[in-house]
Amino acid sequence: MAALDTLSPDADYEEAERRAIRRRRVVSVAVPVGTAVALILLWQAGVRFFEVPTYIAPAPSDVAGAFVAKSDVLIMNFWPTLIEALSGFFVGNMAAILIAIGFVHSRNIERAFFPIAVFVNTIPILAIAPILVLIFGPGLTAKVVIAALICFFPTLVNMVRGLESVSPQALELARILSASKAEVFWKIRLPSSLPFLFSALRIAATTSVIGAIVGEWVGADLGLGALIIDSTFNFNSPLLYATVFMSSGLSVLLFAAVALTERLVIRW
Amino acid sequence: MHAPAAASLKAASVRFGSFTAIDNLSLEIEAGSFYTILGPSGCGKSTMLRLVSDLIPAASGEVSIFGKTTEAARLAREFAFVFQDATLLPWRSALKNVELPLEVGRKRGIELPVGNRSPRELLELVGLKGRENALPHELSGGMRQRVAIARALVCQPKLLLMDEPFGALDEMTRDHLNLQLLEIWRETGTTILFVTHSIAEAVFLGQKVVMLAAHPGRLREVIDIDLPEPRTIPMRDTAEFTRYSARLRELLETC
Ligand SMILES: Nc1ncnc2c1ncn2[C@@H]1O[C@H](COP(=O)(O)OP(=O)(O)OP(=O)(O)O)[C@@H](O)[C@H]1O
Ligand SMILES: [Mg+2]
């Protein structure tokens, strides 16, 4: 009984602490969500109050209506963009990683190719997209190449930095252990580069969607980009807005997938 | 036949460009002994260890380890190195870090010595039983350094090179690790070359203190420390200990 008496204030305190943490967590979610809801309501009220024509700015309720009524069209156009963005993401990042490894392996490779990489990166993606569509035709390939191109440079730069981020001391340790170049790469350089790689992949997750959509603008009959162009020309603003939300949803999805993988892989 | 010295430097010099970091250093490290190295900052203590461990070449003179060249000794894992910061790989658990030396450097056609203690037993030896799966960032500075020591011991080196391994630790932890290191030294029979900034640590650990002088780095004197073995913490309050410390301090001022 005595033991329980001395314990209970502590238990009370812990309970209060736990409740405070829970409250803080609820607040940290509730505030941004509440703000977003308030803004949407304001938008709804504004459009209705000023009687803005739907084709100029649809009310949130119109957009929601489009989501429901045109869900089959939206989904049908979602898949091609997802596939293009994902393929571009893999191709672009894979190429960047391999070339970064080549750069770190040999200064001469870096000297030969880095200026070219910088030059390609300076060409605006909107300017190069028509060229790529001309080369690869109106099919899937051009969009994948555009998405890959947009992912490529940030990953290349980050990956080179990551592979070179190994501390000199760790390299001395490797030398004392007579580790081979391959062992240094697999056991030290590559793991050290992972945090750098993932910060580049987070960027690529969203830019690859931009790349796919830009590619579709230039020439496609299917995909979220094509739907954006189509609904704009038809003054179908609710569908346009719904498509835009769908595109940003795709970016968020890819970003979340990368962030989740990062959390599983990088535990240090 | 005289057993070869654990490390032998004969008129060894190290130059960085036109700068002479070590000049004409001759020193015999007796196998099985505990040597501490003292000297003013920048006198070349680290450089000397890096020379012995084949990280930098001698500009002139000769360095050998158990009668072999430093390169041959490195390939045969005759020595291990403990850095000032533990230099653990942050994505590997404590156990995996200790296992690193067993995973690399095997493709050189030279049989690696395998210690008689497993990585797990070594972690227990340094007092980290139960923390095998902890990542370095989950360990304290002292624990990380103990993982580094366990890693250094995994191939049973005959020579252990330590560059201010406890320099960044608080005094209590340092005392504790000093005692632990002495125990490991007695038990394994390895030779230890231990760089430190602390006169007390040099006297407490060393059977011999190597005093280096600066500009250029050269040997000043080798002082025998005739304190009874095994060393204990209360020994540091004896008159004898204080005499050694005072003598080294005096000598350090003239370096
Ligand atoms: N890689 C290098 N290139 C040029 N000079 C160097 C290099 N490494 C060390 N030196 C110089 O050699 C001298 C000895 O350096 P070292 O690191 O061996 O000193 P130290 O005795 O270990 O000093 P501390 O006690 O501060 O660790 C210093 O003057 C340093 O500037
Ligand atoms: Mg030093």
- Where do the domains of chain B lie? 1-78+159-165+181-255, 79-156
CB A166 within 8 A of CB A173: no
Q: CA angle A36-A41-A46, nearest 5°?
A: 125
Q: Given pLDDT bands bounded at 50, 70 and 90, which one contains residue A3?
A: very low
| Chain B CA closest to residue A168 | B87
Share of chain B above pLDDT 70, in %: 96
- The candidate with the shortest Cα–Cα distance to B145, out of B161, B130, B116, B167, is B167
CA distance B204 to chain A (A): 28
Q: Which residues of A fall within a CB distance of 8 Å from B80? A: 176
Q: Given pLDDT bands bounded at 50, 70 and 90, which one contains residue A221?
A: confident
CB A223 within 8 A of CB A84: yes
Mean pLDDT, all residues of chain A: 91
Side-chain half-sphere of B64: how many Cα atoms within 13 Å?
A: 8
Statement to judge: residues A200 and A260 lie in one domain: yes
Parent domain of A8: 1-51
Statement to judge: residues A132 and A173 lie in one domain: yes
Residue closest via CA to ligand 1's atom 14 equals: B44
Question: Ligand 1, closest atom to CA B16?
Answer: 4
Statement to judge: residues A14 and A140 lie in one domain: no
Statement to judge: residues A231 and A209 lie in one domain: yes
Statement to judge: residues A215 and A247 lie in one domain: yes
Lowest mean pLDDT segment, chosen from A137-141, A172-176, A230-234: A137-141
The confidence score (pLDDT) of residue A18 equals: 87
Statement to judge: residues A174 and A113 lie in one domain: yes
Stretch A231-250: mean pLDDT: 94
pLDDT digits (tens, 9 = 90+) for B100-121: 999 998 766 666 777 778 999 9
- The candidate with the shortest Cα–Cα distance to B214, out of B40, B16, B9, is B40
Statement to judge: residues A97 and A175 lie in one domain: yes
- Checking if the pLDDT of A4 tops 50, the result is no
- Checking if the pLDDT of A235 tops 80, the result is yes
Stretch A222-249: mean pLDDT: 94
Quick one: chain A helix, strand, coil %, rounded to 5?
A: 85, 0, 15
Statement to judge: residues A15 and A66 lie in one domain: no
Statement to judge: residues A24 and A153 lie in one domain: no
The CATH class of the B1-78+159-165+181-255 domain is alpha beta
Q: Given pLDDT bands bounded at 50, 70 and 90, which one contains residue B201?
A: very high
> What's the residue count for chain B?
255
Q: CA angle B145-B149-B154, nearest 5°?
A: 145
Rounded CA separation A54/A127 (Å): 32
Rounded CA separation B65/B81 (Å): 14
- Looking at the structure of chain A, the number of domains it has is 2
Lowest mean pLDDT segment, chosen from A51-55, A98-102, A239-243, B246-250: A51-55
Q: Given pLDDT bands bounded at 50, 70 and 90, which one contains residue A1?
A: very low
Bridge partners of B81, per DSSP, are: B161
The confidence score (pLDDT) of residue B2 equals: 65
Residue type, B138: E
Task: Closest CB to A173: pick one of B75, B87, B90.
Answer: B87
CA distance B221 to chain A (A): 29
The confidence score (pLDDT) of residue B108 equals: 64
Statement to judge: residues A23 and A43 lie in one domain: yes
Residue type, B32: G
Chain B interface, Cβ < 8 Å to A: 50, 53-55, 74-75, 77, 79-81, 83, 85, 87, 89-91, 100-101, 103-105, 107-108, 135-137
Statement to judge: residues A13 and A90 lie in one domain: no
Alpha helices in A219-236 (DSSP H): 224-233
